[in-house]
Amino acid sequence: MKVTKLTKGYAYAFQDLGYYVWQHSDTQVTAEDIDNVLSLFKHDLFRNAYTKIISELSPTDRQFC
C-alpha cells in the first residue's frame, strides 16, 4: 500500500498519515486521497518529530547531520 511505502516503517508517520487519510476520504481510500493530505502530513511530521529531534542534538551532531 502507498501509505506503507511513504512512511518507510516509521510508526508515528504511519499513524499520522493514516489519521489524515481517514479524515479526508469517503468510503474508500484512494491514491488521490493520500496525495491530497501529504502536505498536512509532512507539516505535522516536521513540527512534531523532526524539529524536536534536531532541537535535542548537540551542536556537533547538528553540524554532522
Q: How many domains does the chain have?
A: 1
* pLDDT computed for residue 15 by the predictor: 95
Domain of 16, in residue numbers: 2-64
Sign of CA dihedral 42, 46, 50, 54: positive
* pLDDT computed for residue 65 by the predictor: 83
Q: Report angle CA 26, 28, 34 to the nearest 5 degrees.
A: 80
Residue pointed to by grid coordinates 510508526: 11
Q: Is the pTM of this model over 0.95?
A: no
Count CA atoms within 13 Å of residue 7 on its CB side: 18
- pLDDT 10s digits, 10-27: 999 999 999 999 999 988
Contact 14, 5 (CB under 8 A): no
Distance separating alpha carbons of residues 46 and 26, to the nearest angstrom = 27
Q: Which amino acid is at 37?
A: V
